Structure 1
């Protein structure tokens, strides 16, 4: 699908489902393009549109390069971050002299946000400015995702470190907590991957714009975007350390709960071991046992078993095992 954006004063007009590219188009957004749409763009701009397989290359030389003054830049962007299955897919930005082409096979929310913003008065009108604004929307979306992730990590941390009585009341399931931590860690890893690729793109774009001599404010915006990516990357690293800490803490809590259960079972075994021994002794069927003919033998055995159970229980209570 092709979405075309034309300069109309201080705003951009949107043309959806076009079969040709008219004059005045400054941004061509290609979402899951067909072969016919790729040929249309190639003929209109005179470039070779990268294929989906080319976009998935991870080496820098395949993601950031220049051909005949046209910049080809690919970054990994996130989508579906509000769901339990976020995805990270490559998106290619092609910056020609007077046009920007974006190729994507996913639907990042940042594109929808910027598309709505650029149709209002005061939007960027040139290709470099549109690219800077679009990257700004992508980075803002990543920042929002990190903020939400940090808040969710706070909620998980509060659950893990609840007092024992409160954990019993809320019926905390550590398996669910582990799964939640795993999902947060996976999302954070995808954010780090995305920020890494965006950081490389902004660095490359800043150097390319220095040689291309665009508007000074665009170069300044790209430089600011690079600093924003660096700060978000540091925050993502902090969240990664926090995920690791929370995972270790949760596993420690699970181990502690298991040790408590094992300790209780062990103490119960020790408490009932002496009565079992006494019962085993008097359960033997030897004829020469003196107590067999004793009228008070049965009450004596019962009392002896009770005392032998109470004594170790009292000792364990005093030393703090119970």
Structure 2
């Protein structure tokens, strides 16, 4: 005989136990903050330097950039931070000075135009991390982060310029091109000009990083201990700014070394040319002296009436040319 297993009924105590209730009750779902453009506009005011209306709006919130005039300036409500922006636009490297007016309520940026391409990176960062828009300090962090990223791309561009010139630099240091022809100063003018351009780019980036590091340290001091998470992000940003600055210093030293190597190679080549002319002058100076002596119009010159006078003068001239040549060769000046 077959039978079915009776269902086991749960006891009232089991139905009302806290553990069972916890299994039945769904846990609350935590929603991450979403990016709010209105909140960002409340925290960040962009002022174009050539827009009088924007300057008036900044004045309404107590911001006046004129006393700062490109230096760190503090008032009762704001701290003004100058930042040098270095970024790449196509094949050109642009350099501009921005001003940030920072207060606990908002940050105001004085920039060349209403839409500043560098800050697109900052907006993207705030979209990924919406909590940054909750305070003016978070928005300022995103702006400095974008400026640092732009400077890093400039340094990579300068490094790529040097890599593209590696073959030309190698030929310059060796002194010969691929066809075995000696390279002169005229052949290296284009390479030297591009290297000077790379040095200028790196120097501009170094200046930019100094201003960024100063602004980031001021931001860290403003945050203090009010927001440990944001303070940690700013500490990481300061380390990144220093890292880009060290990279720029390395590239600057590299450019200087290559410039010195090329100039040394060209100086050696010019010295060799001068040495060749010096040797030629030393070899032909004694024969020239003898020729000048016998070119004088004296009334009485016995050698003119001597039968072996001409062969003797030729022999003396040849010996006078060989003696300095032998001396120069023994001294090793021909190497």
Give yes or no for TM over 0.5: yes
Larger Rg: 2
Distance in 2 between residues matched to 1:268 and 1:198, nearest whole Å: 60
* SS of aligned partner of 1:29: strand
Q: Which residue of 2 aligns with 1:267?
A: 279
Moved more, 261-270 or 312-321: 312-321
- Match in the other structure for 2:52: 35
Equivalent in 47, 50, 60 of residue 65 of structure 2: 50
Q: Residue 118 of structure 2 aligns to a residue in which SS?
A: helix
Aligned to 1:141: 150
Compute the RMSD of aligned alpha carbons: 3.5
- Aligned mate of 2:243, from 210, 227, 231: 231
Q: Secondary structure at the match of 2:264?
A: helix
1:227 to partner: Cα distance: 0.9
TM-score normalised over the length of structure 2? 0.71
How many residue pairs align between the two structures? 293
Shift of the 261–171 alpha-carbon distance from structure 1 to 2, 3 Å rule, reads closer
1:199-244 C-alpha deviation (Å, 9 max, x unpaired): 1111111121125x24x43222111001111222233333344444
Matched, 1:75 2:83: yes
Inter-partner Cα distance in structure 2 for 1:77 and 1:264 = 52
Residue 81 of structure 1 and its aligned partner are, at CA, apart by: 7.1
Match of 1:4 in 2: none
**Please, which runs of 5 or more residues in structure 1 have no aligned partner?**
1-8, 14-21
Residue 187 (structure 1) aligned to one of 201, 226, 242 = 201
Take 1:148 and 1:154, find their aligned partners in 2: how far apart are those partners?
A: 10
Which of 104, 116, 129 is the matching residue for 2:111?
Answer: 104
User: C-alpha separation between the residues in 1 aligned to 2:296 and 2:328?
Assistant: 31
The answer (yes or no) to whether the contact 1:156–1:177 under 8 Å persists in 2 is: yes
State whether residues 286 and 317 of structure 2, in contact with CA within 8 Å, keep that contact through their aligned partners in structure 1.
Answer: yes
Decide whether aligned partners of structure 1 residues 38 and 309 sit closer, same or farther in structure 2, where only a CA change above 3 A counts.
same
Give unmatched runs, 5+ long, in structure 2.
1-32
**Partner of residue 219 from structure 1, selected from 212, 231, 243:** 231
Check 1:34–1:95 CA distance in 2 against 1; reply closer, same or farther (3 A cut). same
Q: Which has the higher strand share?
A: 1
Superposed, 1:120-139 pairs within 5 Å as 124-126=132-134, 127-139=136-148
